A and B are shown apart, each in its own frame.
Chain A
């Protein structure tokens, strides 16, 4: 137990130090912006991975929770001039509540049906963002969202915001690593494997599924608030169905049921379009091709897949694997 704990703190610690030192090398604003987006996406994907990768429940409406976080923060601060931190808390509470209300009926479904239900929810929320003009500013978006400040330090520089985002994301990663190795984490994976066997072991599966749904919505809400305060302008286009799909893709590409896989998936799929900009109009085609190749050759996701390939290579080289 303690060895595991040490190992985990070591992982998170190392990752944290690398991230802390990164801005010293990456002084370019553009790179920092990309890193901030990777952080926000990671936060989203780590939360979604708890739901999808561990508990095996799909959500095709996660952009809605991201949007609820962003819009609640945005509306409360820009329109009602509330201070950002309490607004962010309010956003989390509201989003969690919505997730609870949606989750109670929706999570009675499973597989394709749950996918359809969450898809429908995502579309409805997206339409609300577009049509509730007086609240959300409609299709033209919501402007004038203030940037965040900690005390008297205003986080208007990307380098400062970078630390805020990654601090939050690291905390979320640490929390998730703990959830995953706890009794609850085991129960989630048991649900993924066989729900009736899980119930026969005394796991209250319906309650637990709702709980993880709410947690992952809360992660998304925090990510949404951070996003809104960073770019200070939000419009419905950022929270549409395509974005939900993108999040699911990040989970799958990184590797289901792996927290570090989620980090890796978010980073890869955020960086890829930036790198692919050299292909100009064809970037989306190349993007699709890369995804197809990954799924065909590394269906377990990049991290697991790479480890498997390494293992195969070692075996072929005649280095006997250690017996377990």
Chain B
């Protein structure tokens, strides 16, 4: 569904992504893990065309998409839930969701949009309760739900999630990740970028490990979970002993 070949991206003269290749098949959850500054968010922003890529290609359903404007990417069916939510704070919850369907209003799909709204509200009931509230007043977790809901309103084929766990209470993180797997069961393809490697690997099918702009490791989520280096670097060495020692 999504295929990235030898992607290179620069910020000025600094190379952020160095010959990165990855692929996402329909119906999969793929995760990209790595430390701060590895280039994970850059990767998603390249796919969304918010950052231009210098070399290499990004193919979506066989069509080359790098170089197209970000609006066109959304039209093709790729939608990003950006890092730090980036909801439109002065607007109400409902207005944020309606904005997600911006392109579809133009295509006169009103009745479908209504039913999608109801779908979002059944996925995140709290958003219905707060639908007339200014979204800047929501809690972090609720804002994350809203950001996911807004992206879903565009009816994406591929959902890009950038750090959905950022700044959230552990219990809320569990909720969000459960919702993500639920969305996959309903047929959505998902690419998640995460620092919380454990949470991401738990729900993912496959994963890639990014370090300073290169992919150093890839494999099934189960393999990565058991990989010695991944354990040491991203899951916290000896975390098992640590947690077992406490219980």
Contact = CB atoms under 8 A, between A and B. Distances in A.
A, B in one complex? yes
A204 B68 CA distance: 12
Contact of A202 (B86, B91, B95, B154): B154
A205 B133 CA distance: 25
Interface string B114-136: 00000000000000000011000
A196 B50 contact: yes
A152 interface: no
A186 B135 CA distance: 13
A202 B133 contact: no
B88 interface: yes
Interface string B72-101: 001100011010001111110001001110
Contact of B99 (A192, A201, A205): A201
Contact of B102 (A193, A203, A324): A203
B80 A189 contact: no
A190 B79 CA distance: 16
A222 interface: no
Nearest to A191: B88
Contact of B91 (A183, A190, A205, A324): A190
Contacts of A194: 86, 88
A197 interface: yes
B103 interface: yes
Interface string A159-179: 000000000000000000000
Interface string A194-214: 101111111111000000000
B213 interface: no
Given A186-B95, A193-B88, A193-B91, A204 B71 contact: yes
A267 B246 CA distance: 70
Q: For chain A, which range describes its interface: under 10, 10 to 19, 20 to 34, or 35 or more residues?
A: 20 to 34
Determine chain A's interface SS by DSSP, over half rule.
helix
B88 A183 contact: no
A183 B98 contact: yes
B70 A324 contact: no
Interface in B104-153: 105-106, 132-133, 150
Contacts of A197: 82, 86-88
A310 B218 CA distance: 60
A306 to B, nearest CB: 19
B102 to A, nearest CB: 5
Contacts of B89: 193
B90 A200 contact: no
A248 interface: no
A147 B105 CA distance: 44
B48 interface: yes
A209 to B, nearest CB: 13
B70 A200 contact: yes
A92 interface: no
Contacts of A99: none
Nearest to B80: A200
A301 to B, nearest CB: 14
A183 B74 CA distance: 17
A187 interface: yes
Contacts of B105: 183
A182 to B, nearest CB: 9
B74 A189 contact: no
B11 to A, nearest CB: 15
Given A199-B70, A200-B48, A204-B71, A186 B150 contact: no
A201 B102 contact: yes
A33 B69 CA distance: 50
Contacts of A189: 88, 90-91, 95
A203 B89 CA distance: 17
A189 B82 CA distance: 18
A187 B90 contact: no
A205 B70 CA distance: 10
Contacts of A204: 69, 71
Contact of A324 (B75, B100, B132, B154): B132
Contact of A186 (B71, B75, B79, B98): B98
A203 B101 CA distance: 10
Given A190-B91, A190-B99, A193-B90, A202 B132 contact: no
A184 to B, nearest CB: 9
B142 to A, nearest CB: 14
16 contacts: A183-B98, A183-B99, A183-B106, A187-B102, A189-B90, A197-B82, A197-B86, A199-B69, A199-B70, A200-B79, A200-B82, A201-B102, A202-B71, A202-B102, A203-B71, A203-B99
The 7 closest A-B pairs by CB, nearest first: A202-B74, A199-B70, A197-B86, A202-B103, A183-B105, A193-B88, A204-B71
Given A186-B98, A198-B88, A202-B74, 19 more contacts: A183-B98, A186-B99, A186-B102, A187-B102, A189-B88, A189-B90, A189-B95, A190-B99, A199-B69, A200-B48, A200-B74, A200-B79, A201-B99, A201-B154, A202-B71, A202-B103, A203-B71, A204-B71, A205-B71
